[in-house]
């Protein structure tokens, strides 16, 4: 790895500040100067940025046992425990084997009711509004509502509303914690850590209550917590960790994807017209997994927004053992960064990379693009387990929003904020008119 092209930083701090100053732009600019694999050294050690599909295939697909999640995931472990997103090795493998079928077509079909009800409650709330000052707050409520119903089996009104607040508190903690340059122990008596611990305790209690409801036959079976308990494969602690993981991994990503898709459509009227025409022509009496086939342009519009604004804007791995990739020796415990956002905007992979054009995806499948040039849901065996669920949720939300309202927005420019997921610093203002 010493032979890889390297970003020249300054003594001591090396490339730390140029990178921290522009987490999204730095990899893209440097890859155009240094090539598709390069090294940038920061205070914590060397980072290897990879855009090259052979390297990404090696790390994510053919040698995943050697490339575990990087240390950026460590704080997530405090919050999410040892569920699917944060576990590694055999522990991860055993969980994935049991959980995978629960996210296949048939099982997702049982979650459709939760998606429909969660979306309907947002649409009803919006009927009383003419202005939405901060679209992301609303899409966040929508995604938490859907996640509470589908994963937790409870409605947003009662326990769900509290759960939403608690998940927000946990998210808050993660954002603040990740910004602290040196990891501090969780025993540090800081108010935001205390609030996080109290929130986590209450989430645990809520999950316990829901589990008792299930055991007493008081909970419907069309939700993930019932499926997990009924599988008989998870102890109480793991059921709890999986549910928190689904709630956390599945709500902010979806909420941001919905916000960015609406923003992109509102600012590209010709594409928005096509989406509106397609959605308004479909009288959707009942959501099903096949609904995606009925709304191909809307699906393409979402995929294109996931290209320009991938919620998981970077993926990180580190190797357990020394390795050789494409003739380069990679020392043990090296951080490999797969910069999804920058890959998705690389001009060699995407002509006119900054232009929003759903036609790139219309009538195409991911296999039509060069491997690993489009990876909003990751790749290899650890690809997003919630991918189909998310696409269904997003497509349904857009269908319902445009069939119930005429929407417009004065927000033309966004300042992006690469937090745990990609966010917008700029609040997106929305005006609503019922149709």
With contact defined as beta carbons under 8 Å apart, do 389 and 69 qualify?
no
Q: Which stretch in 112-120, 190-198, 203-211, 242-250 sits in contact with ligand HEM by CB under 6 A?
A: 242-250
Diameter of the chain measured on Cα atoms:
65
Question: Among residues 75, 153, 160, 311, which is the contact residue for ligand HEM, using CB under 6 A?
Answer: 311
| Residue pointed to by tokens 């409870």 | 154
Nearer to ligand HEM, 170 or 315 (CB): 315
3-class secondary structure, 284? coil
Residues in 63-82 at the binding interface with ligand HEM, rule: CB under 6 A? none
Closest chain position to ligand HEM (CB): 386
φ, ψ at 395 (rounded to 5°): -65, -45
Question: Among residues 51, 55, 356, 389, which is the contact residue for ligand HEM, using CB under 6 A?
Answer: 389
Residue 160 found at the interface with ligand HEM (CB under 6 A): no
Residue count of the chain, please give it: 435
The total of other beta-carbon atoms located within 10 Å of residue 96's CB is: 14
Nearer to ligand HEM, 228 or 249 (CB): 249
Closest CA to 423 of 5, 2, 19, 23: 23
Nearer to ligand HEM, 93 or 364 (CB): 93
266 contact partners, CB below 8 Å, separation of at least 6: 272, 407, 408, 409, 411
With contact defined as beta carbons under 8 Å apart, do 276 and 401 qualify?
no
Nearer to ligand HEM, 98 or 129 (CB): 98
Residue 28 found at the interface with ligand HEM (CB under 6 A): no
* Cα torsion angle, 309, 359, 112, 238, sign: negative
Minimal distance, residue 76 CB to ligand HEM, in Å: 10
The total of other beta-carbon atoms located within 10 Å of residue 266's CB is: 18
Residue 58 found at the interface with ligand HEM (CB under 6 A): no
Minimal distance, residue 384 CB to ligand HEM, in Å: 3
Question: Among residues 9, 25, 296, 378, which is the contact residue for ligand HEM, using CB under 6 A?
Answer: 378
Residue 56 found at the interface with ligand HEM (CB under 6 A): no
Question: Among residues 156, 225, 301, 390, which is the contact residue for ligand HEM, using CB under 6 A?
Answer: 390
Nearer to ligand HEM, 59 or 266 (CB): 59
Distance CA 269, CA 408 (A): 10
φ, ψ at 367 (rounded to 5°): -65, -15
Nearer to ligand HEM, 195 or 292 (CB): 292
Residue 136 found at the interface with ligand HEM (CB under 6 A): no
Q: Which stretch in 131-139, 346-354, 379-387, 404-412 sits in contact with ligand HEM by CB under 6 A?
A: 379-387
Minimal distance, residue 279 CB to ligand HEM, in Å: 19
Residue 46 found at the interface with ligand HEM (CB under 6 A): no
Distance CA 331, CA 342 (A): 25
Half-sphere exposure of 35 (CA within 13 A, CB side): 9
Q: Give me the sheet containing 405-408, strands edge to edge.
A: 131-132, 430-434, 405-408
Q: Which stretch in 34-42, 177-185, 249-257, 272-280 sits in contact with ligand HEM by CB under 6 A?
A: 249-257
Nearer to ligand HEM, 203 or 432 (CB): 203
How far lies 319's CA from each of 20, 261, 378, in Å? 23, 35, 18
Strand-pairing partners, residue 328, are 325
Question: Among residues 238, 249, 343, 402, which is the contact residue for ligand HEM, using CB under 6 A?
Answer: 249
| Residue pointed to by tokens 């707050």 | 137
Strand-pairing partners, residue 405, are 434
Residue 385 found at the interface with ligand HEM (CB under 6 A): yes
Distance CA 377, CA 278 (A): 25
Question: Among residues 15, 139, 223, 245, which is the contact residue for ligand HEM, using CB under 6 A?
Answer: 245
Closest CA to 326 of 8, 57, 7: 57
Residue 312 found at the interface with ligand HEM (CB under 6 A): yes
Residue 96 found at the interface with ligand HEM (CB under 6 A): yes
Q: Which stretch in 107-115, 310-318, 355-363, 411-419 sits in contact with ligand HEM by CB under 6 A?
A: 310-318
Count of residues near ligand HEM by CB under 6 A: 22
Instruction: Tell how far CA 250 is from the center of its chain.
Output: 6
Residue 300 found at the interface with ligand HEM (CB under 6 A): no
Residues that bind ligand HEM (CB under 6 A): 84-85, 96, 245-246, 249-250, 253-254, 257, 311-312, 315, 376-378, 382, 384-386, 389-390
């Amino acid at each position: 790895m010493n032979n890889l092209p390297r970003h020249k930083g300054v003594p001591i701090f090396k490339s730390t500040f140029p990178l921290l100053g522009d987490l999204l732009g730095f990899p893209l600019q440097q890859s155009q100067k240094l090539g598709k694999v390069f090294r940038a050294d920061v205070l914590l050690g060397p980072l290897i940025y990879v855009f090259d599909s052979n390297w990404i295939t090696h790390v994510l697909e053919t040698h995943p046992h050697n490339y575990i999640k990087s240390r950026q995931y460590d704080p997530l472990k405090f919050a999410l425990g040892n569920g699917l997103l944060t576990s590694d090795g055999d522990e991860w493998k055993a969980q994935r084997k049991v959980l995978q079928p629960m996210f296949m077509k048939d099982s997702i079909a049982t979650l459709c009711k939760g998606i429909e009800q969660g979306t309907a409650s947002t649409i009803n709330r919006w009927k009383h509004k003419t202005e939405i000052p901060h679209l992301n707050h609303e899409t966040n409520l929508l995604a938490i509502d859907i996640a509470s119903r589908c994963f937790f089996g409870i409605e947003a009104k009662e326990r769900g509303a509290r759960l939403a607040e608690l998940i927000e508190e946990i998210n808050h903690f993660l954002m603040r914690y990740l910004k602290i340059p040196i990891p501090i122990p969780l025993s540090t008596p800081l108010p935001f850590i205390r609030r996080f611990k109290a929130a986590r305790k209450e989430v645990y209690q809520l999950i316990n209550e829901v589990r008792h409801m299930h055991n007493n036959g008081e909970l419907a079976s069309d939700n993930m917590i019932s499926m997990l308990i009924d599988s008989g494969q998870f102890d109480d602690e793991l059921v709890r960790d999986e549910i928190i993981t689904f709630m956390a991994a599945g709500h902010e990503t979806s909420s941001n994807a919905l916000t960015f898709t609406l923003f992109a459509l509102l600012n590209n009227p010709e594409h928005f017209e096509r989406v509106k025409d397609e959605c308004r022509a479909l009288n959707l009496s009942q959501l099903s997994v096949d609904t995606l086939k009925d709304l191909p342009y809307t699906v393409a519009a979402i995929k294109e927004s996931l290209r320009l604004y991938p919620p998981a804007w970077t993926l990180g791995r580190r190797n357990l053992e020394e390795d050789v990739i494409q003739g380069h020796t990679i020392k043990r415990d090296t951080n490999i960064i797969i910069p999804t956002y920058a890959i998705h905007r690389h001009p060699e992979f995407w002509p006119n990379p900054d232009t929003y054009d759903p036609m790139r995806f219309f009538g195409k499948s991911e296999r039509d693009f060069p491997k690993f040039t489009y990876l909003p849901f990751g790749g290899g065996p650890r690809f997003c387990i919630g991918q189909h669920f998310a696409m269904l949720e997003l497509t349904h939300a857009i269908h319902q929003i445009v069939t119930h309202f005429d929407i417009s927005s004065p927000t033309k420019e966004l300042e992006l904020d690469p937090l745990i997921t990609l966010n917008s610093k700029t609040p997106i203002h929305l005006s609503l008119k019922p149709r």
